[in-house]
Amino acid sequence: MRKALLLPLVLALANFGSFAYAHIARYVLALQNPYGLSATPPDLLGLYGRYVADLARGEFGRLPYGSEPPILPYLLEGFGASLGLIALAFSLSVMLGIAIGIAAAQVDPPRLAHWLAPLTSVGLALPGFYIGTLAIVLSLWLVFRGLATPLPVGGFGWDLHLVLPALALALRPTAQIAAITANLLVDELKKQYTVTARSVGHTWRGVRWRHALPAALSGVALTIAGGFRLTLAELVLVESLFAWPGLGRAIAQTLVAPSVFSAGGADTGTLFLHAEMLTALVTLLTTVFYLTDVIASLAARAADPRLRQVEALRA
């Protein structure tokens, strides 16, 4: 509840900070221009006051191209595209990560499987952008050798277009969830209550599923939340690499100069340091990050009665 009550303050800071960053960065770039000596510092308080007044009227701003369409439909469309991609990638991460973690927790004696460390080390060491690049190269090589049918390496679609970006997003969270789940299970299997359960006749399989896994669920819930945040962090580069029209690519377009950003598209470069767009994107993602932490904390508390007992004693 304390975290939930702090949400308005966190959102206000993220909202103003991103709005101020866009205007200050544009002013600094203007000063770096040989003809920018006449640039004047932005009136941040006045500009932000007008922006807040527009928000109160339900106006989120307009896009800086074409006939200046409103920002909100663009955000909703990008949110839907990102949500579908994240849902697929993160579902794969959770299912595979927990399954690998359980399989890697050896029970007699309790220990980690020897193959877990190299597997998760490689998975955690490779960022999503690098994994996506390797996936594109491998896919094209297989097609040229006649060993596979072509997979789309860019663009949007709820079909095979999802395969490569979902794999690029899923690998690192899968490795993180698998490593921590296995370590949590092994720690629980070494505790006295599992030894007692084994001594009264329970099988190791029963001890793992009935005793150790439920006791580790709170830690697994927090690990899953960390994996989700990692997926969101990877979204910017992965969507830019595969030209996926979601929120991650929109953030890249607002933060990266058009001479550097090369994902293509009609709106490339027009969103660079667009204050209203950057503010809306940062505020939305801050909300998602913060609510993920709150939900994970509630899930951990619900899964482990020991946490509730500690809070009761403190109260």
Give the residue numbers spanning the domain of 253. 2-314
> Does the pLDDT value for residue 198 go beyond 80?
no
Instruction: Quote the crossing angle between the two packed helices 163-189 and 116-125, to the nearest 10°.
Output: 140
- Omega before residue 109 within 30° of 0, cis: yes
Q: 110: closest CA among 211, 226, 200, 201?
A: 211
Q: What is the pLDDT of residue 12?
A: 92
148-187 pLDDT tens trace = 777 888 889 898 899 999 999 999 999 999 999 999 999 9
Domain count, the chain: 1
Return all residues near 250 (Cβ < 8 A) that are at least 6 apart: 74, 75, 78, 271, 277, 281
**What are 69-98's pLDDT values in tens digits?**
788 888 999 999 999 999 999 999 999 999
Share of the chain above pLDDT 70, in %: 90
> Is the pLDDT confidence value at 259 over 80?
no
Return the CATH number at 271: 1.10.3720.10
Q: Give which of 198, 196, 207, 238 is closest to 90, Cα–Cα.
A: 238
The closest alpha carbon to 257, from 242, 243, 241, 274, belongs to 274
